[in-house]
């Protein structure tokens, strides 16, 4: 073999080795940003994950499914403990509040089951010992629904007090619409059967999430 041909073959072999090394080191092409989200409508997704014990839990960052029969949510009494002009808050939990944490979430919908953005969802309640703050705004506050009609509020599980089962008061008002005043109840509370105004149609759907207990309720309001 001539010196010229030997040099040419050696050069080709070296190039092949370099290309082979580069092919091994190339990472897989990542999915385009937003592909996964775009493929799964957030408002209709239900997802579970497996914890260390193998028990299924609802993913904390997944919006609850929209469940709507078009029937307006039953109204209930405001009671004696409402304080007007509450603050806007993302959480009712603050230092010194008694009770086990829970996140309330769901959708505000019209009777055609269409989400309502910008609706006011105003909560007030007793603490875990069944005591209301009637001098300030502890465990009182409102939030607004997002563009998908969803609300989220962190709070605590209220305790019962004489004559009432554990419950959370709520006012829901669409932009420019009428106010719905109602209440939210807890499943399997022993005092439900003794409460004169308890309505099983207003029981929260309790779910265990990665961030802790979540209570889901959708509000359907008349136009």
pLDDT digits (tens, 9 = 90+) for 33-44: 333 333 333 333
* Predicted pLDDT at 81: 98
Q: Is residue 11 part of a domain?
A: no
Q: Is residue 26 part of a domain?
A: no
Domain at 92, CATH number: 2.60.130.10
pLDDT band at 148 (very low <50, low <70, confident <90, very high): very high
What is the DSSP secondary structure assignment for residue 44, as one 8-state letter? G
> When comparing pLDDT for 139 and 66, which is higher?
139
The yes-or-no verdict on residue 12 having pLDDT over 50 is no
Query: Can you tell me the distance from the alpha carbon of 113 to that of 3, in angstroms, rounded to the nearest whole number?
Result: 83
Taking only the tens place, the pLDDT of each residue in 158-211 is: 999 999 999 999 999 999 999 999 999 999 999 999 999 999 999 999 999 998
Q: What is the dihedral of CA 101, 163, 196, 79, to 10 degrees?
A: -70
Residue with tokens 């239900």: 46
Q: Helix (H) and strand (E) counts for the chain? A: 2, 11
* Predicted pLDDT at 108: 98
Q: Is residue 22 part of a domain?
A: no
Helix (H, G, I), strand (E, B) or coil at 76: coil
Q: Give the domain extent around 215.
A: 35-221
Query: Can you tell me the distance from the alpha carbon of 135 to that of 211, in angstroms, rounded to the nearest whole number?
Result: 31
* Predicted pLDDT at 66: 87
The total number of structural domains in the chain stands at 1
Give pTM, 2 decimals. Answer: 0.73
Q: Is residue 141 part of a domain?
A: yes
* Predicted pLDDT at 63: 76
The yes-or-no verdict on residue 107 having pLDDT over 70 is yes
Q: What is the mean pLDDT of the chain?
A: 81
Q: Is residue 27 part of a domain?
A: no
* Predicted pLDDT at 110: 98
Query: Can you tell me the distance from the alpha carbon of 25 to that of 23, in angstroms, rounded to the nearest whole number?
Result: 6
Chain Cα centroid distance, residue 107: 9
Q: Is residue 152 part of a domain?
A: yes
Q: Is residue 82 part of a domain?
A: yes
Taking only the tens place, the pLDDT of each residue in 58-76 is: 444 567 878 899 999 999 9
């Amino acid at each position: 073999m001539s010196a010229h041909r030997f040099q040419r073959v050696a050069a080709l072999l070296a190039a092949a080795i370099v290309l082979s090394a580069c092919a091994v080191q190339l990472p897989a092409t990542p999915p385009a940003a937003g592909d996964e989200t775009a493929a799964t409508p957030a408002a209709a997704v239900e997802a579970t994950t497996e914890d260390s014990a193998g028990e299924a839990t609802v993913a904390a960052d997944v919006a609850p499914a929209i469940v709507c029969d078009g029937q307006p949510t039953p109204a209930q009494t405001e009671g004696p403990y409402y304080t007007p002009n509450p603050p806007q808050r993302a959480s009712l939990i603050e230092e010194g509040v008694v009770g086990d944490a829970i996140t309330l979430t769901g959708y505000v919908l019209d009777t055609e089951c269409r989400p309502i953005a910008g609706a006011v969802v105003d909560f007030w309640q007793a603490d875990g010992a069944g005591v209301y703050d009637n001098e300030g705004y502890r465990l009182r506050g409102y939030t607004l629904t997002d563009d998908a009609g969803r609300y989220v509020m962190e709070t605590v599980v209220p305790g019962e007090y004489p004559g009432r089962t554990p419950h959370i008061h709520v006012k829901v008002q669409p932009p420019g619409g009428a106010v719905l005043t109602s209440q939210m109840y807890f499943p399997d509370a022993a005092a439900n059967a003794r409460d004169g105004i308890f309505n099983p149609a207003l029981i929260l759907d309790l779910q265990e999430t990665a961030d802790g207990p979540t209570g889901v309720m959708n509000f359907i309001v008349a136009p």
